Amino acid sequence: MGLEVDPAFVQAAEHRPKPTISDAGEIPLIDLSPLLHHPIPSDPSDPSIPDEISSLIAAIGAACLDWGFFQVVNHGVDLKLLERVQAVAREFFALPAEEKRRVKLDEVNALGYYDTEHTKNVRDWKEVFDLVVREYESDDGSFRLRNQWPDHPPAMREACEEYIASVEKLAYKLVELIALSLNLPAKRLNGFFRDSSCFFRINHYNPCPSPNLVLGVGRHKDSGALTVLAQDEVGGLDVKRKSDGEWVRVKPIPNSYIINVGDIIQVWSNDKYESVEHRASVNTEKERFSIPFFFSPTFSTNVKPLEELVSDDKNPARYQEYNWGHYFSSRLSSNFKKLDKDNLQISHFKKAL
């Protein structure tokens, strides 16, 4: 297939997707139905924890350790809420370009519609609509996160807000289970998410004439704490398998969510759980939608390894402390234009041990 796209979209040869990709060695599939019958325990050492819950905590810990990714079913989010968001997303992205650009984000307000995002300085083959759970403005007014709601479709705001409220509850449950898997109290991390900076996105990937040259989203790791992703039946999410570095396609499972550990949990856990590279591939025939919810702490949070998980002799802290708000705004600026260097990474805060 010849070059049929703008060179800005073309990946370097070593990062282009292969014609075929393995779906062997799938990311773990975890059933959350035990939470329908039992509360999440507060103390990991409680001897009365039901076996079902102990097994669930162990499964999540193993998935975070071995993959950094897992898929959940029986998660408690009403399917109708997701279907409503998918319906308004189809309506919105089918609008003429000039209509969508009425709610276009910019370098002051980083929320709304956008179709020229870059990942690692290569343009992504997608268009997006971004929202936050809680709006924010910096003290000097130079940086703003203010939701822009389009006039059409009129049901978009209600559909998104109701969906976000439900998925946020799921994210709290998952963070509590992850804390327990680290042998921490279930609510050890919850306080970081008061007045959280949670981010919600709808990705739309149009069919692409050269899917062997471009990516819907280039390889990257998520900078927040945890991502809860809904993908449609088309599929296209690829995860870099930790065991051998090969890319693995995540099969769509109806009414499931894909969960991945972000950079913040990697730092909090002092590298026990790693944030893993992933990407979105595209195809020539079908449009695709994916809907991630990025669960992140309040912007004032200073991120560092949790004191309970480090020791001066056996497991010293591997990261310098950094401020999440500064980190987020720095990385966000690289989404708007091609830079002459990579954006900020947690590796920049890694200590030399």
122-171: per-residue pLDDT in tens? 999 999 999 999 998 887 777 789 999 999 999 999 999 999 999 999 99
The token pair at 13 is 């040869």
* pLDDT average, residue stretch 267-277: 98
pLDDT confidence of residue 102: 97
Check the CA dihedral 159-160-163-169 and report its sign.
negative
* pLDDT average, residue stretch 285-296: 97
Quick: pLDDT tens for 50-68: 999 999 999 999 999 999 9
Termini Cα distance of the chain? 48
Q: 220 with 119: CB under 8 angstroms?
A: yes
pLDDT confidence of residue 158: 98
Q: Count Cβ atoms below 10 Å from residue 197 Cβ, excluding itself.
A: 23
Mean pLDDT of the chain: 93
Burial group, residue 90, by CB count within 10 angstroms (0-12, 13-18, 19+): middle
- The pTM is what? 0.95
Burial group, residue 259, by CB count within 10 angstroms (0-12, 13-18, 19+): buried
CA-based max dimension of the chain: 63
Of the pLDDT bands very low, low, confident and very high (cuts 50, 70, 90), residue 312 is confident
Q: 207 with 292: CB under 8 angstroms?
A: no
Rounded CA-CA distance 45/27 in Å is: 28
